[in-house]
Amino acid sequence: MIQETETDGYVYGEITDHLHYDDDIGCLTGDGFVQAPDGSRAGVIWQVEDVVTVSVCREPEEDRWGVYNVWFDKPIKTTSYHAATGKKD
């Protein structure tokens, strides 16, 4: 769990190490999950693309809210940058 991403009790948990760069400019792909305050989760598959977007990969099921594709427009470089991509100011 990356505590720096916590917003209103929701926290991102990584499966892919976002600090293990798969390119010289940063981490371009990964997967993880978002955990709600009640412990329920949604899967996240993310990558860097030209357009920021979110789409459904798998519909919600009994044991999770589903799995979602999330496209960022910049590579992940640090934990603080990772946190900033999901937080609202």
Provide the pLDDT for residue 77.
76
Quick one: CA dihedral 5, 11, 16, 17, positive or negative? positive
Residues 15-54 pLDDT 10s: 988 777 777 788 889 999 999 999 999 999 999 999 999 9
Domain residue limits, the chain: 2-86
Tokens (6 digits) for 17: 């190490």
Query: Nearest-CA neighbor of 35 among 19, 15, 55, 20?
Result: 15
Provide the pLDDT for residue 18.
73
Provide the pLDDT for residue 22.
75
Provide the pLDDT for residue 81.
54
Specify which residues 61 forms β-bridges with: 64
